[in-house]
Amino acid sequence: MARENSFTGAKVFSATLARDRETLGEMITAWLREHPDIEIVDKVVSQSSDREFHCLSIVLFFRSKQGQTS
């Protein structure tokens, strides 16, 4: 039996420029709309920075909705 949060893929969204970080949510929403056949089972959000750059990364773990029963 598969674990409840098992996944078959991961998608990484990352941005270092301020204008890209501001639109990261919109990029994720667009990607999700383009992939209605997947289900997000987990996520990891991280931020790293040094003196000059700030990086925001969001990793979505997903699996196919095919073959699932409600």
Predicted confidence band of residue 68 (pLDDT cuts 50, 70, 90): low
**Tens digits of per-residue pLDDT, 21-64?**
999 999 999 999 999 999 999 999 999 998 888 999 999 999 99
Q: Is 23 helix (H, G, I), strand (E, B) or coil?
A: coil
pLDDT of residue 1: 45
Q: In this structure, is residue 70 part of a structural domain? A: no
pLDDT surpasses 90 at 5:
no
Q: What is the pTM of this model?
A: 0.81
Q: In this structure, is residue 37 part of a structural domain? A: yes
Domain hosting residue 30, numbered range: 9-64
Non-local CB neighbours of 45 within 8 Å, separated by 6+ positions: 56, 57, 58, 59
Q: In this structure, is residue 48 part of a structural domain? A: yes
Residue ranges with strand state E in the chain = 9-15, 38-49, 54-64
Task: Report in angstroms the alpha-carbon separations of 41 from 30, 38, 60.
Answer: 18, 9, 8
pLDDT of residue 27: 96
The domain total for the chain is: 1
